[in-house]
Amino acid sequence: MRISQLSAASGVPIPTIKYYLREGLLPQGEQTAATRAEYDEAHLRRLRLIRALLEVGRVPVATIAKIIAAVEDEDMPVHTMLGTAHYALASPAEPSPGDAEHVRARERVEALIAGLGWDVKPEAPTRDELAEILVRLDQLGMPATDERLRDYADVTMRLVSEYDMALIPFHGPRETAVETLVIGTVLYGKAFDVLRRLAQESESARILGT
Amino acid sequence: MRISQLSAASGVPIPTIKYYLREGLLPQGEQTAATRAEYDEAHLRRLRLIRALLEVGRVPVATIAKIIAAVEDEDMPVHTMLGTAHYALASPAEPSPGDAEHVRARERVEALIAGLGWDVKPEAPTRDELAEILVRLDQLGMPATDERLRDYADVTMRLVSEYDMALIPFHGPRETAVETLVIGTVLYGKAFDVLRRLAQESESARILGT
């Protein structure tokens, strides 16, 4: 299809498509004449992925670019590619790592992961991300109890193994594997978050009897 | 304490504190001289709340301002205040509401909420927020099954009633009630999300045998 048809099918304006082409988020179309290129279903699907990450997940363009670079680097083994994409989604709040509070919280995170027997790399940015949340909760006088963290962890592991991981074609095409992981992480994460807010509203209405 | 001491205690630079004062995010200190004002623990706590929402929750300043305006409007009943604060946290992806796909997804959301027996207002922005996520998942070829949505909903309701709602002082001070709700929604929501990414990494390592 032509760029105008790609724009109509995806709802993405032509200048935005050209921007994604320049930034390498979208692969070039097949050049059929000096000023004409052909695009296909793969381009349409990539555009939908970009828009879903941007609009629903609020994932920054630079992060999306990192994920796509990992997909397109054919020399990168699948597990490294998935890890790279996954780590790109982390957004630790500017941590205060020298800080004694952060160091203590980080030790709690290590103990939690060890206690769960989870296999997480020492350099995973998620460790600091969780530690910084624990610091903020402490400062705000709403510390996370061990019981609550452990319960959250058990629930999330059940959901991850039952749904997220069951769908990833680990030995299939690179692009499909990373897409499934990223969509699962971002969009299903958002779905869970929205359901949580719906549950909070419902419980709050029940308690206040409105 | 003086503004310089408030800055040192909170780690927030003085110009930023002055910006929050101008924007009404932080109440004015007690004027003790023409160019001197006194601040107290309540200011420090408010600053920590603002920073946690901004840095951990990535909640925009305009949203924080809406939440604080609801807290400070003493004429607003507690349940309206909590609802206002809660709805401010919703961030529906520019929905395409006239769109047939969105309308169908919205009907699925209504059926889900009715099936769960949840008490959610018809105008809750969370309904459209969830519908739009369902549209994107469909478009990306990873549709959410009824079973998965229902399972997510049941899990989240248990966690909400066991932890989030148990902590909110519904009949206590306005500021504390809304703070507890917002911190619970944003920071514990983020904690769950990070634990989910940790679980994904661990499961992925197990499956790929690395």
Tens of each residue's pLDDT in chain B, 210 residues: 999 999 999 889 999 999 999 988 999 999 898 888 999 988 998 898 898 888 877 788 888 998 888 888 888 888 888 888 888 888 766 666 568 899 999 999 999 999 999 999 999 999 999 999 999 899 888 899 999 999 999 999 999 999 988 888 888 788 888 888 888 888 999 999 999 999 999 998 888 876
Apex A44 CA angle, A38 and A45, nearest 5: 140
pLDDT at position A80: 84
pLDDT at position B139: 86
pLDDT at position B210: 63
pLDDT at position B72: 84
Q: Does A92 touch chain B (CB under 8 A)?
A: no
Interface with chain B: mutation pick from A63, A195, A203, A210, highest number of B CBs within 10 Å? A195
| Structure-model confidence comparison of residues A38 and B77, the more confident one | A38
Q: Which CATH class is domain B1-56?
A: mainly alpha
Please determine, for residue A97, whether its predicted confidence score (pLDDT) is greater than 80: no
pLDDT at position B98: 65
Domain ranges of chain A: 91-144
pLDDT at position A94: 66
Q: Does A129 touch chain B (CB under 8 A)?
A: yes
pLDDT at position A52: 81
| Structure-model confidence comparison of residues A99 and B159, the more confident one | B159
Within 10 angstroms of residue A55's Cβ, the number of other Cβ atoms is 16
Minimum-distance CB partner of B185 among A51, A118, A200: A200
| Closest CA relative to residue A159, chosen from B140, B40, B144 | B144
pLDDT at position A159: 95
Mean pLDDT for chain A?
89
Minimum-distance CB partner of B82 among A126, A129, A204: A204
pLDDT at position A210: 63
Please determine, for residue A199, whether its predicted confidence score (pLDDT) is greater than 60: yes
The answer to ipTM > 0.90 is no
| Closest CA relative to residue A3, chosen from A32, A25, A33, A29 | A29
B52-90 CB burial, b ≥16 within 10 A, e <16? bbebbbebeeebbbebbbbbeeeebebbebbbbbbbbbb
For chain B, where are the alpha helices, taking DSSP H only? 3-10, 14-23, 41-51, 61-72, 78-88, 100-116, 125-139, 146-159, 165-167, 174-183, 189-208
